[in-house]
Amino acid sequence: MKQPIHGLGPEELAEAVREAGGERFRARQLAEWLWTRFAANWDEMTNLPRALRAALSERWLDLDGALATEEVAGEEGTGTRKILSRLADGELVETVLIPAAKDRTTVCVSSQVGCGCGCAFCASGLNGCTRSLSAGEIAAQAARAARLLGRRPDNVVFMGIGEPFLNYDAALAAARRMNDPAPDGLGIGARRITVSTCGVVPGIERFAGEGRQFELSVSLHAPTDEQRAALMPVDRKWPLGVLVPACRAYTERTGRIVTFEYTLVAGFNDRPEDARALLALLRPFPSRVNLIPLNPVKEFSGRTPSAATCEAFRAALERGGLNATLRRSKGRGVNASCGQLRRSRIGER
Ligand code: SF4
């Protein structure tokens, strides 16, 4: 199956141009079309010889080919836009553009078609994981978002459909394309690219050695294995006794703080004893806790705690020495997946 050319790094792009019969300097021109002009198709790349474009198109997909059909839907009241794109094999992939503070835009990319992790509050896991996306299919989502915006997005979060650490090589190759300075990539700062995992420990261990300052976000959602396993089957494979030390080791190795995402569910994980258990779990090392009042979804019967309960929970964590932020969602209705987290990004940064 043809792949989007957006997955290629600088050397690979030079090789692709060479194979297509182009001179070396054409690779730089091509990179500019991909990452600074966000070209939709080969026809737009007018300073490349027609024969070179034809040869490249035999082997690689342009943006139109990579995302063959597109539907852009707004979400009422939030300014959020969703791009639903059909891939070369007919599968659908979702990308979300989320407005943030000061006219910034966060792009939420998907890393798989479906997801095998089966979190209780998520529609994306219902049918399992169909397949992982290629680096090009992930990177092309960011390029498509840039084309829609007419500029480079400000932040990228890997919080769409799929678990990026179960598609590690492609997800990180795509993150590098987004981070590489223009024209070799989108030039988004590493600290503005967040990879979010539901707790895949081998991925966290590899991520610690990446050498780029990408952000790491871990979905915790409960302070004990009993509670967490009820929400997230991944806890049975990598329980808290393995996950939290891996996060601590990540911080010690990289000097970077992990953000723990914690969705507050009424009567389930929002009680004073839950705050105490969370403090005991996380206090041994510096971290950040992002509290998200549950946004009701039809897949999950949990209720949203009151504003007072949420604030009391946050205050208890702060008193205990944890850096805790309470996110207030501005809207409802973006479907599926790590949407609980995605909603929490609305209005951020
Ligand atoms: S919440 Fe995220 S990790 Fe969990 S099943 Fe949904 S897409 Fe997968």
Distance CA 344, CA 108 (A): 12
Name the phi and psi angles at 19, rounded to 5.
-60, -30
- The predicted structure's pLDDT at residue 196: 97
- The predicted structure's pLDDT at residue 334: 43
* 298-334 per-residue burial string, b: 16 or more CB within 10 A, e: under 16: eebebebbeeebbebbbebbeeeebebebbebeeeeb
Say yes or no: 42 and 159 in one domain: no
Condensed to tens digits (0 to 9), the pLDDT of residues 306-326 reads: 999 999 999 999 999 999 999
Which domain range does residue 51 map to?
A: 3-66
For atom 4 of ligand 1, which residue has the closest CA?
Answer: 119
Say yes or no: 311 and 226 in one domain: yes
Q: Is 198 in the pocket of ligand 1 (CB under 6 A)?
A: yes
Say yes or no: 102 and 7 in one domain: no
Interval between CA 161 and ligand 1 midpoint (Å): 7
DSSP 294: P
Say yes or no: 173 and 30 in one domain: no
Q: Which atom of ligand 1 is nearest to the CA of 336?
A: 6
Q: Which atom of ligand 1 is nearest to the CA of 162?
A: 7
Contacts of 264 (CB under 8 A, 6+ apart): 270, 291, 292, 293, 294, 304, 305, 309, 310, 313
Say yes or no: 155 and 227 in one domain: yes
Say yes or no: 151 and 180 in one domain: yes
For atom 7 of ligand 1, which residue has the closest CA?
Answer: 337
Say yes or no: 258 and 163 in one domain: yes
Distance CA 49, CA 81 (A): 36
Interval between CA 117 and ligand 1 midpoint (Å): 6
Say yes or no: 28 and 171 in one domain: no
The SS3 of residue 212 is coil
- The predicted structure's pLDDT at residue 73: 63
57 burial via Cβ count (<10 Å: 0-12, 13-18, 19+)? middle
- The predicted structure's pLDDT at residue 123: 78
Q: Is residue 76 part of a domain?
A: yes
Interval between CA 56 and ligand 1 midpoint (Å): 36
- The predicted structure's pLDDT at residue 333: 42
Order the strands of the 323-326 sheet from edge to edge.
Answer: 70-75, 80-86, 92-99, 105-108, 155-158, 193-197, 215-219, 258-264, 287-293, 323-326
Interval between CA 77 and ligand 1 midpoint (Å): 25
Say yes or no: 61 and 109 in one domain: no
Mutate to test the pocket of ligand 1, among 95, 117, 133, 294 (most ligand atoms within 8 A of CB): 117
Give me the helix-helix angle, 25-35 and 10-19, nearest 10°. Answer: 120
Say yes or no: 75 and 58 in one domain: no
Domain containing residue 75: CATH number: 3.20.20.70
- The predicted structure's pLDDT at residue 257: 96
Q: Is 196 in the pocket of ligand 1 (CB under 6 A)?
A: no
Give me the helix-helix angle, 272-282 and 240-254, nearest 10°. Answer: 50
Q: Is residue 349 part of a domain?
A: no
Q: Is 4 in the pocket of ligand 1 (CB under 6 A)?
A: no
The SS3 of residue 148 is helix
Condensed to tens digits (0 to 9), the pLDDT of residues 256-309 reads: 999 999 999 999 999 999 999 999 999 989 999 999 999 887 778 899 999 999
Contacts of 43 (CB under 8 A, 6+ apart): 53
- The predicted structure's pLDDT at residue 77: 65
Active site residues: 94, 338
Say yes or no: 161 and 43 in one domain: no
Q: Is 119 in the pocket of ligand 1 (CB under 6 A)?
A: yes
Say yes or no: 152 and 48 in one domain: no
Mutate to test the pocket of ligand 1, among 163, 231, 300 (most ligand atoms within 8 A of CB): 163
Q: Is 337 in the pocket of ligand 1 (CB under 6 A)?
A: yes
Q: Is residue 333 part of a domain?
A: yes
Where a domain ends, among 15, 39, 66?
66
Name the phi and psi angles at 266, rounded to 5.
-55, 130
The SS3 of residue 91 is coil
Where a domain ends, among 40, 66, 92?
66
- The predicted structure's pLDDT at residue 127: 81
Residue ranges in the chain modelled with pLDDT below 70: 68-77, 328-349
Distance CA 286, CA 125 (A): 31
How far does the chain reach from its first CA to its final CA, in angstroms? 38
Q: Is 179 in the pocket of ligand 1 (CB under 6 A)?
A: no
Q: Is 122 in the pocket of ligand 1 (CB under 6 A)?
A: yes
Specify whether the CB–CB gap between 174 and 109 falls below 8 A.
Answer: yes
